[in-house]
């Protein structure tokens, strides 16, 4: 297994489920239910706090979470999943804590379509090796494995198609105004709402196994500033408000992703280009593109038919297939 804790102890996981209702539970009651001493209950509470849960302890009342917590359940995810998509997924696995849902799927034998969700990731990945911060139960960490008969070269622009599918799934739940920042960020009001990472593994002529990873900030702990440089936001802070049920969101996301991957296999990137262009928050802005050992400045001109960024520079129009965008005057 790659680094990080891959599961909670059964008792710690049971404690999280017991406290999920947001009500007080006495130490004596919890000790009896878990089959441990009251001192051991305190240790399990500490483990939950280390994962980002805000656990209140009050003498004479016991323990409770600062806010009720909707835990992920396979049955609830499937209930929110369109039947056509559900029939395509061989398995949906829900974990307490994992290093990375994408790495977990990559280690799984076989190539059948399946999904993995986790309450918390200890080594979630963003672009360029950055960590994706995910306190326990506060966001949605989801990955989907899929098989394409084509080789990796034929899958250019897949992350664009995935971005459109995720934005549509968020809109299905009432999250309007979510934009797409090339190549794979979900943003709202200049702040990052989520991210996408697409991993490909296959021979030049195919087939290719793809693992699509999606991370969404749903309802982050209010008293914990995330240790990231990029301004961020959460689904619960968006106007509306949108549906913040993580189980229903997971079902909508998987449904949209399955449909998008099937459509991409049949028709390529073209059907997704209008959806991207209507949500593109970079087009027309002065940007700096940062790659491995290089930087380019210019005005973003949208994307081409392969999903590459078009950048107008002093030297002319450039086509960039990789890089990270920094936007000037974002707000």
Q: Which tens digits make up the pLDDT trace of 28-75?
A: 999 999 999 999 999 999 999 988 889 999 999 999 999 899 999 999
Give the chain's radius of gyration (CA, Å): 21
CATH number at 313 reads 2.30.30.100
Which has more confidence, 199 or 52? 199
The catalytic residue among 125, 145, 192, 256 is: 192
Co-location of 114 and 17 in the same domain: no
Asked if pLDDT for residue 12 goes beyond 60, the answer is yes
- Asked whether residue 113 falls in the same domain as residue 164, the answer is yes
Reply yes or no on whether 192 is catalytic: yes
Confidence band of 329 (pLDDT split at 50, 70, 90): low
Query: What pLDDT, on the 0 to 100 scale, is given for residue 264?
Result: 98
For residue range 69-81, list pLDDT tens digits in order. Answer: 999 999 999 999 9
CB 86 within 8 A of CB 109: no
Give me the number of domains the chain comprises: 3
Res. 119 pLDDT band, cuts 50 70 90: very high
232, β-bridge pairs: 192
Residue 246, pLDDT > 80, answer yes
Mark whether 328 is an active-site residue. Answer: yes
Burial level of 293, CB count in 10 A (0-12/13-18/19+)? Answer: exposed
Of 73, 78, 127, 263, which is the active-site residue? 127
The CATH number covering residue 42 comes to 1.10.10.10
pLDDT of residue 3: 31
Calculate what percentage of the chain has a pLDDT beyond 90: 79
Domain with 318, as residue range(s), is: 286-327
Q: Let me know whether 167 and 115 are in one domain.
A: yes
Residue 43 lies in a domain: yes
Structure tokens at 206: 């195919």
């Amino acid at each position: 297994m790659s680094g990080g804790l891959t599961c909670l102890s059964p008792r710690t996981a049971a404690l999280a489920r017991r406290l999920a209702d947001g009500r007080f539970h006495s130490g004596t009651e919890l000790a009896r239910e878990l089959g441990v001493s009251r001192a051991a209950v305190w240790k399990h509470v500490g483990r939950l706090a280390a994962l980002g849960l805000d656990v209140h302890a009050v003498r004479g009342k016991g323990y409770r979470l600062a806010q009720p917590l909707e835990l992920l359940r396979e049955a609830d995810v499937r209930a929110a999943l369109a039947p056509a998509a559900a029939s395509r997924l061989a398995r949906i696995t829900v974990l307490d804590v994992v290093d990375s849902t994408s790495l977990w799927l990559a280690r799984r034998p076989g190539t059948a379509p399946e999904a993995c969700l986790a309450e918390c990731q200890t080594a979630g990945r963003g672009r360029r090796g950055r960590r994706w911060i995910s306190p326990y139960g506060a966001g949605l960490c989801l990955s989907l494995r899929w098989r394409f008969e084509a080789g990796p070269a034929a899958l250019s622009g897949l992350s664009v198609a995935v971005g459109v599918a995720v934005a549509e799934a968020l809109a299905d739940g009432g999250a309007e105004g979510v934009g797409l920042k090339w190549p794979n960020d979900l943003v709202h009001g200049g702040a990052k709402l989520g991210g996408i990472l697409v991993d490909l593994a296959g021979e030049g002529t195919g087939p290719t196994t793809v693992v699509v990873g999606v991370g969404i900030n749903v309802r982050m702990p209010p008293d914990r500033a995330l240790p990231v440089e990029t301004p961020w936001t959460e689904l619960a802070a968006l106007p509306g408000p949108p549906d913040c049920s993580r189980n229903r969101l997971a079902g909508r996301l998987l449904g949209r992703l399955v449909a998008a991957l099937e459509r991409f296999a049949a028709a390529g990137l073209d059907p997704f280009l209008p959806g991207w262009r209507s949500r593109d928050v970079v087009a027309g802005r002065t940007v700096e593109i940062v790659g491995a050992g290089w930087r380019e400045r210019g005005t973003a001109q949208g994307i081409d038919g392969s999903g590459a960024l078009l950048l107008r520079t002093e030297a002319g129009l450039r086509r960039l297939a990789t890089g990270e965008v920094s936007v000037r005057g974002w707000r």
